[in-house]
Amino acid sequence: MKPTYKPVAAHQHGNCACHPVIGSKKEAAPLAADAPAAGAAKPAAAAATASQKAPASPSAGMKPPTKLEYPFKEYPESGKIVEVAEGIFWLSTPLPFRLRAINAYLIEEKEGWTIVDCGYGAEGARTEWEQVWQNQMKDKPVTRVVVTHFHPDHFGNAGWMQEKWGVRPSMSETEWAFGNLAAQNLNTDAIEPRCVFYAKNGLSKPFVDQFRNEVFRYPHGCPTVPDSFNCLKDGEVLSINNSNWRVMIGRGHSPEHVCLYNNDLGIMMAGDQVLPEISPNVSVWHIEPNANPLGDFLDTMDRFRPAMRKDTLVLPSHRRPFRGVHDRFDELEHHHHLRLAEIMAATGPAGITAGDLLPMIFPPNLDGHQLGFAMNEALAHLNYLMYEGKLVRRTDAGGIIRFHRT
Ligand SMILES: [Zn+2]
Ligand SMILES: [Zn+2]
């Protein structure tokens, strides 16, 4: 029988539609890479609308995202692209886990197509790409593939596309490197070092074992990695269909995440950096235990906010395109600060471990894959508080890492 968390603490949160891990039972899958299978059906528009309208739970304290506007009520049909702005198309491809779908965007140019993100490297997404190529791309080749970040739902088919079209992906250097390492079961896909890290941070053995047994491995969603890439740098401008798209690097969700922003059109291809309804996962990994990804994530919003038009149409990688990005930044910031305050309130004289936080801030019955991301995200909040000077990190006599009030 699988172990399950018991809601032992007072702060058991209700519906918070803005976070896939913390405090959300509906959206319990962490938004990172390859979460486990929970059906590949696309989210129904009706369901998405319902979750928008659902009042935030008083305990979660989230403002409902009423200020966001969704110009498209329906998701594209399977294997079909929908025009979201002149010459810019939206494709929704399936994921074999709870996030259900990832969006790719296509820009038509005179001689070919630019694709932004590739979908999960599995049969379902490839079938949809094949249908689109055959039926809707007007016999033009793919001439450029932009990958926002290395998670397999974004990078997974880049190798397959390179084989088919001879196009190497355009992406940032760090995302390229991380993808290559993970494909060799290193870095974020080094499972035994992750187990040791989680145990030291207070995850009990049954849950460590569950993580080990159920984690999805990176090559499952990214079976082949392209042999070369084109490097994208912050501030670089790509001319796509005679229009200027500026590379804006986001941090916190992944190390050097590429967003493409077009100020003339008022459009951002945001990847997983900015999402409606769900909060991008922020993770501390065993490879960099002193990282402050939540600080990086909040800093990114501070950088992006003044650089973006308020009426920007955000084309996110999950859920639907939306307007209201400045309000969305406010919501995400509010959400994380609320969570930080709750963690401080829960930290008693004995201190707290990341493992202690799980039953308090996450829904019960996380599967093993989600447990890993939940631990990473709990640590992201604890490390943030450490860098704020509110908590100090110590190793206790049993070798367990605990955070204490300063
Ligand atoms: Zn991601
Ligand atoms: Zn994603």
Ligand with smallest separation from the Cα of 104: 2
For the domain covering 45-55+67-326, report its CATH number. Answer: 3.60.15.10
Lowest-pLDDT range, 36-40, 192-196, 199-203? 36-40
Nearest one of 148, 135, 141 to 174, comparing CA atoms: 148
Ligand with smallest separation from the Cα of 117: 2
The CA 403 to ligand 2 mean position distance, Å, reads: 30
Inform me whether the pLDDT recorded for 137 exceeds 50: yes
pLDDT tens digits along 182-195: 999 999 999 999 99
The CA 156 to ligand 2 mean position distance, Å, reads: 11
The CA 235 to ligand 2 mean position distance, Å, reads: 23
Which of the 8 DSSP states describes residue 20?
Answer: S
Ligand with smallest separation from the Cα of 149: 1
The CA 303 to ligand 1 mean position distance, Å, reads: 20
The CA 49 to ligand 1 mean position distance, Å, reads: 23
The CA 81 to ligand 2 mean position distance, Å, reads: 19
Strand order in the sheet with 82-85: 82-85, 88-94, 101-108, 113-116, 142-146, 169-171, 230-231
Residue 12 to residue 118: CA distance in whole angstroms: 37
The CA 131 to ligand 1 mean position distance, Å, reads: 25
Residue 313 to residue 324: CA distance in whole angstroms: 8
The CA 176 to ligand 1 mean position distance, Å, reads: 14
Residue 90 to residue 125: CA distance in whole angstroms: 14
Please list all protein residues whose beta carbon sits less than 5 angstroms from ligand 2, which is an ion: 153, 272, 317
The CA 360 to ligand 1 mean position distance, Å, reads: 24
pLDDT tens digits along 4-32: 433 322 222 222 222 344 333 333 333 43
Q: Which two tokens stand for residue 76?
A: 């594209």
Q: pLDDT value at position 361?
A: 80
- Report for 93-107, 363-377, 380-394: range of highest mean pLDDT: 380-394
The CA 223 to ligand 2 mean position distance, Å, reads: 17
Residue 245 to residue 265: CA distance in whole angstroms: 9
Q: Going by DSSP bridges, is the β-strand pair 82-85/88-94 parallel, antiparallel, or unpaired? A: antiparallel
Backbone angles phi, psi at 281, to 5 degrees: -65, 135
Ligand with smallest separation from the Cα of 253: 1
Q: pLDDT value at position 66?
A: 61
Q: pLDDT value at position 94?
A: 87
Q: pLDDT value at position 362?
A: 86
Q: pLDDT value at position 61?
A: 42
Burial code of 242-263, b = ≥16 C-beta within 10 A, e = fewer? ebebbbbbbbbbbbbbbbbbbe
The CA 69 to ligand 1 mean position distance, Å, reads: 23
Q: Report which residue type is found at 30.
A: P
Residue 181 to residue 245: CA distance in whole angstroms: 29
Please say whether the dihedral angle defined by the alpha carbons of residues 77, 128, 113 and 313, taken in this order, is positive or negative: positive
